[in-house]
Amino acid sequence: MAGLVTVLQTGQTLRADGVFAGPWREFRRIAIPAGGRESIVGDGAESAVFVMSGSVTARIGDTDTPMPEGRAMAVGLGSRVDLVGGPDGAELFVTTLDVQLGSA
């Protein structure tokens, strides 16, 4: 496929294997309500998380980090980040890449 133009709706996941030949796994648009929870886990993958609107608190281990609109974070291989929706909830864009160790 030469390219793709689409609208990624809230709650939708777009598999990347039909679009890219590289390591991209998927693109997701996630809505987290106020107080709602979502986990991003780096099982065989790494992700980038972008807060498009609202805010979340990112918990990594015992550390909480506020993430307002416009903030981004990386979730490395083997890591886990638990996200909790802020007072107005949040909308996130998450892109995930497959990671194969020892392939270099």
Kind of pairing between the strands at 37-41 and 72-75: unpaired
Residue 49: both structure tokens together:
């998380």
Q: How far is CA 22 from CA 25, 33, 86, 98, in A?
A: 9, 33, 34, 9
3-state percent breakdown (helix, strand, coil) of the chain, nearest 5? 0, 60, 40
Beta-ladder partners of 20 = none
Give the model's pLDDT for residue 4: 63
pLDDT tens for the chain, 104 residues: list them.
456 667 778 888 887 777 777 888 899 999 999 999 999 999 999 999 999 999 999 999 999 999 999 999 999 999 999 999 999 999 999 999 999 876 54
**pTM score of the predicted model:** 0.83
* Sole residue written with tokens 């996200």: 83
Q: Which domains does the chain have, with CATH numbers?
A: 13-98 (2.60.120.10)
